[in-house]
Amino acid sequence: MADLYARSEAPQVPAVMDSRQAFLPNGYRLLSPRTRQEYQIIRTLNNGGFGITYEGTATATGMRVAIKELFPAGVVMRNPDYTVADIGQEGVFEKMSSSFLKEANVLASLRDISSVVDIYDYFSANNTAYYVMEYISGSNLLDVIRRQGPLNVQEYQPRFRQLMRDIESFHNRGVIHRDISPDNIMLTSDGRFIMIDFGSARKYNSGQNLTINVKQNFAPIEQYNESGQGTFTDVYALAATMYYCYTGKAISSALSRLRRDDLLSPVMFGAKLNPAQEQALFKALAVRPENRFQTMQEFEDAYFQNEPGPNPQDLPIHDDRPAQISGSLQEAILKSWNNLIEEPVLPILSGAFLLAALIAQLFL
């Protein structure tokens, strides 16, 4: 295929754009005015409501990359020369372009965090915006669960713990993701979790109202408003994601839970969580923000605390009837005596146990 370029020397193209060519064609080349790097599109990966993602290469190095193009459905159309035309309400696409490049800026500022997709470049071209990022080989958790069923708790706990720590890291920089969900977390071919799509990420302490962004079953109640969002917002979304990944069941929307909370124990669906983990998950999923963990660090500390002791109802009932206690101790005394006879190399230890058992028998 002949090379196509996103610049003035683009080749001749048909006057009528085929509907299939809403995507940039394979072989198309984009030149970044910002870095002077050139990227070639290999194929289209997916088309979301706000943009198109392509697999590509950096032509100078051959490095495999993912290229995201801002192309919101119903707001823009593709011209025959592959540029983008604004067909939406005046100013809407301009605001979306600004937001898109801000997302790229946020990602660039977080590139040292291991669970955040790495971004290499971002720029404007074709009357729209692009950014170039790490190509991730793998599947998102939504597809993994649909294909394979719930995740094994013991196997995936370390990955979720690393995710909690990395989310805490960008929280400490004043950034909240606001769209944590199974479809925005990739399970890579080498077994890592990578967070993608920071299009809703914002500085939560800026003092400005935040846009309403709701992903049913994963968004907390405060995301139905423009204010009142914070680190606890991501706590809820991650807990809802973990619940789904370990059970295969999505929780009810926060609005419906506000009216009637029908949240069931994940253990009922086969998730092998201990009581402390289950309790931490429930607290992280509290409908009202003030009842939740306020930080990801608090959530991690509670969820991954040392294995708790047995519940009081699981402890044996103390029975002070002498016959039963006496019988148990008599068995222990006999066992100790046999050890003393059969293992003469351990007379001191066996004798000490025998003496302790006799004393206990006298006082009970």
287 versus 343: which is more confidently predicted?
Answer: 287
Question: Does 182 share its domain with 302?
Answer: yes
Query: Residue 251, class by beta-carbon neighbours within 10 Å (0-12 exposed, 13-18 middle, 19+ buried)?
Result: buried
The pLDDT assigned to 21 comes to 57
pLDDT of residue 302: 96
Distance between CA atoms of residues 313 and 208, nearest Å: 50
298 shares its domain with 337:
no
* H, E, C per residue of 267-284: HHHCCCCCHHHHHHHHHH
Check residues 318 and 234 and name the one with the higher pLDDT.
Answer: 234
Q: Helix 296-303 and helix 275-284: axis angle, to 10°?
A: 160
**How many domains does the chain contain in total?**
3
User: What pLDDT score was predicted for residue 271?
Assistant: 95
Shared domain check, 165 and 249: yes
pLDDT, residue 203, reads: 56
b (16+ CB within 10 A) / e for 102-126: bbbebbeebeebebbbbbbbbbebb
Domain end: 104, 134, 164, which one? 134
Distances (CA, A) of 273 to 156, 159, 250, 266, 270: 12, 15, 17, 8, 9
What does the pLDDT read at residue 345? 42
- What DSSP line would sit under 273-323, residue for residue? --HHHHHHHHHHT-SSGGGS-SSHHHHHHHHTSPPPPPPGGGSPPP---HH
* Strand 28-31 with 4-5, pairing: parallel
Do 170 and 92 fall within a single domain?
Answer: no
Q: Which of 250, 247, 253, 191 is nearest to 221 (CA)?
A: 253
CA 193 – CA 184 distance, rounded (Å): 10
In a domain, 316, yes or no: no
Q: Report the CATH number at residue 231.
A: 1.10.510.10
104 and 238, same domain (yes or no) = no
Residue 197 has a pLDDT of 80
Identity of the highest mean pLDDT range in 47-51, 76-80, 240-244, 259-263: 240-244
pLDDT tens, 126-164? 999 999 999 999 999 999 999 999 999 999 999 999 999
Whether the CB-CB separation of 6 and 82 falls below 8 Å is answered with: yes
The residue type found at 323 is A
Q: Is the dihedral of CA 219, 221, 222, 226 positive or negative?
A: positive
Least confident range of 56-60, 246-250, 337-341: 337-341
Q: Which of 116, 134, 152 is the last residue of a domain?
A: 134
58 and 135 in contact (C-beta within 8 Å)? no
> What is the average pLDDT score of the chain?
79
Domain boundary among 309, 332, 350: 309
Q: What is the pLDDT of residues 231-277, one digit of tens each?
A: 999 999 999 999 999 999 999 999 999 999 999 999 999 999 999 99
| Per-residue model confidence as pLDDT tens digits over 174-191 | 889 888 999 999 999 989
Residue 61 lies in a domain: yes
Asked if the model's pLDDT at residue 328 lies above 50, the reply is no
What is the span of the domain harbouring residue 172?
A: 138-309
Residue type, 24: L
Output the pLDDT for position 204: 52
- Same domain, residue pair 336 and 305: no
Instruction: Tell whether 317 is covered by a domain.
Output: no
Residue 315 domain-assigned? no
Categorize the per-residue pLDDT at 214 as very low, low, confident or very high, splitting at 50, 70 and 90: low
Residue 314 lies in a domain: no
Residue 33 scores a pLDDT above 60: yes
CB 201 within 8 A of CB 177: yes
Same domain, 216 and 128: no
More confident residue, 272 or 325: 272
- The torsion angle over the Cα atoms of residues 114, 120, 125 and 128, rounded to 10 degrees, is 0
Does residue 117 contact residue 136 with C-beta atoms inside 8 Å? Answer: yes
Q: Give the CATH number, domain containing residue 88.
A: 3.30.200.20
How many whole angstroms separate alpha carbon 145 and alpha carbon 187?
A: 11
Same structural domain, 167 and 282 = yes
